[in-house]
Amino acid sequence: MKDLIKPENETEAIQMLHRYNEDVLPQKFGKAGKTWVGILLVIIAFGVYNYIQQIRFGLSVTGLSDTVSWGIYISNFVFFVAVSLVGSLITAVLYLLNVKWRAPLTRISEVIAVSAIMFAGLIIIVDMGRPDRVLNMFMYGRIQSPIVWDVIVVMTYMTISFLLLYFPLLPSIAYCRDFMKNIPKWQHKMYSILSLGWKNRPAQYKVVEKAITILSVMIIPVALSIHTVTSWLFATTYRPGWDSTNFGAYFVAGAFMVGAAAVIAAMFLLRKFYVRFDEYFTDKHFDRMGRLLVLLSFIYLYFTVNEYFIPGYKMKGEEAAHLRELFTGIYAPMFWSVQILGMIVPIIVLLFKKGRKPFPIFIMSVLVIIGAWFKRYLIVIPTMLHPFLPLQQVAESAKHYSPTMAEWSITSASLAGALLLITLFVRYFPIISIWELAEERDIPHHTIYEHLNDE
């Protein structure tokens, strides 16, 4: 990349590193940060309260019924799983392709991945009728069940994502341990425990790089399988609208798209609140991510067409009722808004260079993210309203589904929880990996550790 400023000599390199490290050191929350955390905490507290109500009174506090037995908890779960795929995209795919501008993005995308997958696991427990029996899954697990596969891949992906976050984080934690002054004792202690005695030794760097290479290779199939298996929760049933062989690819494509959008949105917000970050998240990064997002959106568009056009062409018996509801029925406004605002409009805007400037691309990313959430709502709920047998002898309330306040509150709390986790990470850890940045700028490792350890 042309605009990458590379140091002329060692002194310059050391100066550069010094400045970089100072730039990315975690900072205390300002007024905005405190307000933000406060809002998130209120949303979470409200959600926790509602969850306690749900435990007491059962799932009857939701809008679910025997007809629509899976609702926004499940669509939200699918959304979280989708977002979490970004970790593997930015870190692994771009790493293996040796893309040069990826370094500043890796950590933020891994943090998004780890928090999303954690809350995916939590929200699925929230959906259970008997959360007290969650251990039955391990005591009596049936390998034939896609849910068991999902539990296995979610736990595996969570572990791998965590490791992929942690290994490159070690030098940064060590830097915080050694150079952050005026911090509370517990914070210093946390850094020294988490840094695992990191001393910037060449041998240590070698181990880290080896681990990253292994993880980058390994995370791709696991990431693909986590989203594919999640799609199988639906595709293994007979229900019109879910009974699709296209579902795995369709879900994966959608996940890549929303994941990329999530990283773009995070970049924009970090740049906004940490002014010095515009050196790391440059306009060039937005441009590149914009191109990537267009590419991924096109892939998703392709699968979407496959998913709806072909069944829509046939209008096969039971499927027809479901599709009509989406195309022209009560779900039509949501369906077309999601397709147009969440996919077509972003594609068109991002095709133009001006559209890939930070602000417009941020707006487009937010559209993609909101669209992605409702897209999953449309995948889960309308299908359940169209079983093979007609809806007869069911209560009027079981012929529709609208989430209750409790459901919205718990769902919002899970989203807020994921955002809070990301926020707290940014508060306590450097969100850009300096040593990877240095590598990108061809600053040799020995410079890094000599510089750091001489200090």
Partner 1 sequence: MKKLIQNLSRKITLIVVIILNVGICQISKAQNSIEKETASLNLSYKISNGIKSIKAIVERKINGKFLGVENLKLNLYLTAVKPYDASNSEGLLATISTNADGEATFNFSPDFYKKTAKKHEFNFIVSAISNPLFEDISSEIILNDYVIDLKIAAVDTISSATAKISKYENEVLIPAAEIELKLAIKKTFGLLPFGEEGAVTDENGEVMADIPADVPGNANHSITVVARYVDEENGGVIEVSKDAPWKILPIPNAIPERTLWSTGHNAPIPLVIVTVSLITLIWGIIIYLVSLLIKIKKLGNQKKSK
Partner 2 sequence: MSNNKEDLEKNQDNDSGRREFIRLGVLAAGLTIAGGGLQKVFSSEPSVSGEKINVLTPDGKVVSVDASHMKAAESCCAAPSSEARQGIPGKKYVMVIDLSRCKDAMKCQKACQKHHLLPSQDKYLKVYKMQDSPEASPYWMPKPCLHCDKPPCVKVCPVDATFKRSDGLVLIDNERCIGCRFCMAACPYSTRTFNWDEPIQPENYMDMEYSPESSTPRKKGTVEKCDFCPDMLKQGKLPHCVSACPNGVYYFGDANEDTVCNGDETVRFRQLLKDKAGYRYLEGLGTEPSVYYLPAVNRLFPFEERSSNPS
Does 317 bind partner 2 (CB under 8 A)? Our answer is: no
Residues 131-170 that bind partner 1 (CB under 8 A): 140-144, 149, 152, 156, 159-160, 163, 166-167, 170
Does 315 bind partner 2 (CB under 8 A)? Our answer is: no
Among residues 152 and 366, whose Cβ is nearest to partner 1? 152
CB 45, min distance to partner 2, A: 24
Q: Give the x/- contact pattern for partner 2 in 395-424, rule: CB under 8 A.
A: x-----------------------------
List 215, 226, 415, 452, residue binding partner 1 (CB under 8 A): 215
Query: Phi and psi dihedrals of 398, rounded to 5?
Result: -90, 0
Does 189 bind partner 1 (CB under 8 A)? Our answer is: no
Among residues 152 and 301, whose Cβ is nearest to partner 1? 152
Does 370 bind partner 2 (CB under 8 A)? Our answer is: no
Residues 6 or more apart in contact with residue 330 via CB below 8 angstroms: none
Does 222 bind partner 1 (CB under 8 A)? Our answer is: yes
Residue-wise over 78-88: b if at least 16 C-beta within 10 A, else e? bbbbbbbbbbb
Neighbouring CB atoms inside 10 A of 315's CB total 11
List 25, 48, 137, 214, residue binding partner 1 (CB under 8 A): 214
List 45, 125, 196, 332, residue binding partner 1 (CB under 8 A): 196
Residues 38-77 that bind partner 2 (CB under 8 A): 57-60, 62, 64-67, 69-70
Cα–Cα dist 109/14, whole Å: 27
Among residues 38 and 141, whose Cβ is nearest to partner 1? 141
Does 246 bind partner 1 (CB under 8 A)? Our answer is: no
Q: Give the x/- contact pattern for partner 2 in 79-118, rule: CB under 8 A.
A: ----------------------------------------
Among residues 55 and 305, whose Cβ is nearest to partner 2? 55
Among residues 51 and 449, whose Cβ is nearest to partner 1? 449
CB 235, min distance to partner 2, A: 11
Cα–Cα dist 385/10, whole Å: 67
Among residues 61 and 367, whose Cβ is nearest to partner 2? 61
> Which does residue 152 touch among partner 1, partner 2, none (CB within 5 to 8 A, set by kind)?
partner 1
Give residue 156's identity as a one-letter amino acid code.
Answer: T
CA angle 100, 194, 18 (to 5 degrees): 50
Q: Give the x/- contact pattern for partner 1 in 168-187, rule: CB under 8 A.
A: --x-----------------
CA angle 114, 117, 120 (to 5 degrees): 150
Residues 216-235 that bind partner 2 (CB under 8 A): 233-234
Q: Is 315 left (phi over 0), alpha (psi -120 to 50) or beta?
A: left
> Which does residue 198 touch among partner 2, partner 1, none (CB within 5 to 8 A, set by kind)?
partner 1
Among residues 245 and 393, whose Cβ is nearest to partner 2? 393
Q: Give the x/- contact pattern for partner 2 in 247-286, rule: CB under 8 A.
A: ----------------------------------------
CB 197, min distance to partner 1, A: 3
Residues forming the site for partner 1 (CB under 8 A):
140-144, 149, 152, 156, 159-160, 163, 166-167, 170, 196-199, 201, 203-204, 207-208, 210-211, 214-215, 218, 222
Residues forming the site for partner 2 (CB under 8 A):
57-60, 62, 64-67, 69-70, 127-130, 133-134, 136-137, 139-142, 144-148, 151, 233-234, 236-239, 384, 387-390, 392-395
